[in-house]
Amino acid sequence: MIRQLPDLLIDPVVRLALAEDLGRAGDVTAQACIPERVRMKAVFAARKPGVLAGISCVRLAVLAMDPKASITLLLRDGEAFAAGTVLAEVEADARAFLAAERTALNLLGRLCGIATLTRAYVEAVKGTRVRIADTRKTTPGLRALEKHAVICGGGVNHRFGLDDAILIKDNHIAVCGGVAPAVRRARAAVGHLMKIEVEVDSLKQLDQALAETPDVIMLDNFSLEDLTEAVRRRAASPFGPVTLEASGGVDLSTVKAIAETGVDVISVGALTHSAPALDIGLDVLPD
């Protein structure tokens, strides 16, 4: 079962989005066209098949505008659905509900899109032992929700931010004067619970990294042949176990071949920076 994000993390994002949409005067269209205290019933329905993520955004957006609304969530995050599936049923004050509609749909469609794309990558590498991971290439302000959507799709999270793991990239290496000094300085600066990953762009740098025994080595834009050789060198290394992560040049047409080289993790920026929003609509029900 997919762990659910606490409302405490979702609610500020939803309220900020609502405030952006309501502007200085609120929903002037609903206020002009709909009498006060009119209630409406509607459902959130999928126009295309996908994987659910962010359904709590619907609940919180509607309740923020109408605390007395009745909301029934019919699926849980992580569940797959077919086109036409009803995801949630709502009865609420019409003015309030329509003011919340776009925020709810924007967030739900965005997060379902990420979960659905992630599931496609996970299915593409089925039969291998590789894990599909996200990156920090997320929408500013939405990282917690977008990384949750990756989990809903069957992927795993890379580091959340700059503070929860060390990732030594090419620019760090250039400033430090090489792979070895960069890893040594990092290890000397942090406690035993902080993982260290170093990015390498050649087999020569891989050998240097293996000798320093970081927790993870990122193989950046390696060819399939070099990925296979990196796995072989890791197996032959006398320096201890290390996780190998492939990154760069990954899409749905290449991910299976990359997985078959024997790497442990494949990180895919496209999961969050290029996932199309899933088409979900709001259908008003007759009285």
Angle at which helices 7-22 and 94-124 pack, to 10 degrees? 120
Catalytic residue among 27, 199, 245, 264: 199
Catalytic residue among 39, 41, 48, 102: 102
The structure tokens listed for 129 are 């032992």
Question: What's the angle, vertex CA 51, arms to CA 48 and CA 57, rounded to 5?
Answer: 95
Catalytic residue among 41, 159, 169, 187: 169
Strands, DSSP E only, in the chain?
Answer: 39-46, 50-51, 70-73, 80-81, 86-93, 131-133, 166-168, 196-200, 216-220, 243-247, 265-267, 280-284
Give catalytic status of residue 199 as yes or no: yes
Give catalytic status of residue 169 as yes or no: yes
Angle at which helices 55-65 and 94-124 pack, to 10 degrees? 170
Catalytic residue among 197, 220, 245, 264: 220
Catalytic residue among 39, 41, 137, 256: 137
40: helix, coil or strand? strand
Give catalytic status of residue 212 as yes or no: no
167: helix, coil or strand? strand
What does the alpha-carbon distance between residue 47 and residue 57 come to, in Å, rounded to a whole number?
18
Q: Under a CB-based contact definition with an 8 Å cutoff, are residues 214 and 198 in contact?
A: yes
Give catalytic status of residue 68 as yes or no: no
Give catalytic status of residue 126 as yes or no: no
* Residues with active-site annotation: 102, 137, 169, 199, 220
